[in-house]
Structure 1
């Protein structure tokens, strides 16, 4: 007699919980559908990007083979790529004096941990060497970055501008770095999606992505600055947002990745919480408000040097002009803060002058004015411009990897 009511009593919560499970399933399905639709819209841009980068790597590989060099080595185990491979294989702890410059000490603590950590994970799970794993992570990051760049461009100005923005980013003179075992593509991917989350009101996601970006590169502090700026403007403009825990949490966690590694590396180096900056100084890198850059430009005017240095001057000049145009277009504050911080770090940092264009590689919003101008141009103008940019990008990328003997 008592079994019936007990069964009915137990079934009631199950029936009440079923609509909640159904609602969650619907929300998950809705999110999946939105992601698929976003990817479908981005596919033409991603296809153009893949074609541009594959063409650039093919030109570089053909030249490398013709002079007896291996393309895989040039892409995956050159300059900083050697250090990242070492960290992925053996962890931190390598300290070497510079063989050419007195007083310079190379310490692998200068390199942030996210990229080598991902490389180590891939090399552990899959039957690949560390160098191959590094290239796989870089290429996957480049694809994610291209999608994020498109998403930002589409959100602000529509699909045509988004597609052209991705194409321009993939045809930069130094775009070959996007497919090297370097961290720029990983940072750009996290930065682009963090900015997209910020301008679409996803405050918690923007903070999480900024935290991860902060673990990728020293100049990724720009992402945290952009996310915190967006949160501050939201709190100022909307009184209701002050009661939203996601706004506060997103802003609070945004700089944690960058600051956490800087403090950890500082203590690990024996220099206390700010010891990381001493590690950078011993590498020859410090922030001097552009004095070293100015002296080097003066040297280039009165003397001869590698073409990479002159190209770096040209790219910096174009970037500064693009920054002015971007500011006049009045983009979202998060994008403007992001590129301002990146530009200040790139121009104001000392030494490694040929690397300054690489430091600006994640600053894709600087290309928005050019993408807007191309979107209004005739198809023939777009084709001629794209062809010229492709020729420059393929030639200069090949020169950087297979010919130039300067750090990049």
Structure 2
């Protein structure tokens, strides 16, 4: 991203009309990308090149108000409330479904969460991996989630129950960790809004019990960055390895951790004298020490998966090859990149499928447009992660199907969306967007429970 000049002034927020999670507004200021937020200490404004306005070393030495901890109990309460509502919706939707799966042994009110990829994960848990070249095969699904389900099944004695429970617990953990991360990087109102955006994201049903791997991946991705912010490089890399062995987009975690590590080195060298620009990042590479290399352990996840595929099936990247199998038809090439199939659906229909695909395309567009704000608020490392985690599904799908779910794990973009909405002059915009998002979440959850492929 090219360097540019950015200028900003401090703003004082009016009393909040939105009392999400019971939190009030605080004064807003600008700070170095990627560093914890602190309320303003004076009225001066700096003009710096290469990034947003930051505190100077002189201002940084002045006393600041400590950022309070995230309201964990309230965030968890909000998660439980949304989970209960969506459980009721998906149960009601599944009740009208024809020909339910007779092999399911879990309570019937869990059946609505058992759709599409859940069958593949169940097969992996109970029968292991298989691969037939040219056909849809289970090796398309990375191992961390099904292995976690297998471990939990030893406790609850049912694959479906274990899969739903693991997805739900991981979703709760991801939301709590996201709130903690956002609380140290955004003003109070923006952090509250960011949590609201995540909880009510139209495709957030995958955080609340759907037997998919997304919630566990999100938990591992956020966890790796939280550990990195504490300078626990090896721990961040090991948790990142769970992410890279959990989803194909896990490579974004490796990229993000590496860039963020270099950015932290650059920030330590700058000592508050200015924002980190591209030149600073390049120069900071010289400051890399052996302890920093711990983040490279994140590569072990996908590397181990490739080694397994090589030894078991003779193809270390079989998970890429299988995407082009008939029925999935997600092979790489211009037709996929240019979304020829999506254009055909828009022209010829079916119209309901075109609508579902277009919603996901719009979500991706919004996420991409938020990338600049991700950089301004959180820095280069989080920009790198968000950009890669969005680029892989956007370029890799022929018609945007699945991108709404994949965008769920672009957590810096969701945080940037909350910050953007919270700083609008018209306070009703935030409420309106969250209400619209919640309504869409309810509709899509209902459709998901009726076995409609929503993402």
Q: Cα 1:186–1:127, aligned 2, differ >3 Å: closer, same or farther? A: closer
Match of 2:166 in 1: 137
Return the index of the structure with the highest Cα Rg.
Answer: 1
Alpha-carbon contact 1:346-1:356 (below 8 Å) kept: yes
- Which blocks of at least 5 consecutive residues in structure 2 are unaligned? 1-66, 101-107, 270-283
| SS class of match (2:333) | coil
1:235-250 aligned within 5 A: 235=265, 238=269, 242=287, 244-250=289-295
Secondary structure of 1:105 counterpart: coil
* 1:27 aligned partner: none
Gaps of 5+ in 1: 1-36, 98-103
Cα offset, 1:157, TM superposition: 0.2
Contact 2:173–2:219, Cα closer than 8 Å, also in 1: yes
Partner of 1:82: 119
Name the CA shift for 1:323/1:42 in 2 (closer, same or farther; >3 Å): farther
Aligned to 2:71: 41
Q: CA deviation at 1:38?
A: 8.8
Distance across 2 between alignment mates of 1:379 and 1:367: 18
Matched, 1:162 2:191: yes
- Aligned partner of 2:320 in structure 1 is 277
Deviations 1:20-72 (A, max 9, x none): xxxxxxxxxxxxxxxxx998632222222222232122122123224566542
Write the distance in 2 (CA, Å) between the matches of 1:226 and 1:290.
29
Q: Distance in 2 between matches of 1:407 and 1:393?
A: 11
- The equivalent residue for 1:385 is 433
* 1:242 Cα deviation from its structure 2 partner: 4.0
Equivalent in 186, 191, 208 of residue 221 of structure 2: 191
Q: 1:352 to 1:131 in 2, by over 3 A?
A: farther
Deviation of 1:342 (Å): 1.3
**How many corresponding residue pairs?**
360
Deviation at 1:236, TM superposition (A): 5.5
8 Å contact 1:339–1:363 — kept in the other structure? Answer: yes
Change (3 A) 1:202 1:75: same
2: CA distance, partners of 1:260 / 1:247: 21
Give the CA RMSD over aligned residues.
2.8
For residues 295-317 of structure 1, what are the alpha-carbon distances to aligned partners after superposition, in whole Å with 9 as ceiling and x for unaligned?
12311331122534423323323
Corresponding residue of 1:152: 181
C-alpha distance after superposition, 1:324-380 (max 9, x if no partner): 233145232121111111111111113474222122221122222331133346765
Q: How does 1:301-316 map to 2 (within 5 A)?
A: 301-305=346-350, 307-316=352-361
Give the 3 Å change call, closer, same or farther, for CA 171–293 of structure 1 in structure 2.
Answer: farther
Distance 2:192 2:394 in 1: 29
Deviation at 1:127, TM superposition (A): 3.4
Tell me: CA distance 1:38–1:264, structure 2 relative to 1, closer, same or farther (3 Å).
farther
**Pair 380,274 (structure 1): closer, same or farther in 2 beyond 3 Å:** closer
TM-score of the two chains, using structure 2 as the length reference: 0.71
Aligned mates of 1:376, 1:163 — CA distance in 2: 12
Query: For the Cα contact (< 8 Å) 1:110–1:279, is it kept in 2?
Result: yes
Deviates further, 159-168 or 335-344: 159-168
Please state how far the C-alpha of 1:255 moved relative to its aligned partner: 1.3
Q: Pick one of 91, 107, 110 that aligns with 2:140.
A: 110
Residue equivalent to 1:14: none
Map 1:7-406; keep pairs closer than 5 Å.
41-67=71-97, 70-76=108-114, 78-93=115-130, 95=132, 104-124=134-154, 126-178=155-207, 179-235=209-265, 238=269, 242=287, 244-250=289-295, 252-271=296-315, 273-282=316-325, 284-288=329-333, 291=336, 294-305=339-350, 307-328=352-373, 330=376, 331-351=378-398, 353-376=400-423, 381-402=429-450, 404=452, 406=453
User: How has the CA–CA distance of structure 1 residues 279 and 298 changed in structure 2, closer, same or farther, with 3 Å as cutoff?
Assistant: closer
> C-alpha separation between the residues in 2 aligned to 1:38 and 1:143?
21
Pick 1 or 2: higher relative contact order, CA cutoff 8 A, min separation 6: 2
Q: Distance in 2 between matches of 1:332 and 1:289?
A: 32
How far does residue 73 in structure 1 lie from its aligned partner after superposition? 2.1
Cα distance in 1 for residues equivalent to 2:92 and 2:163: 22
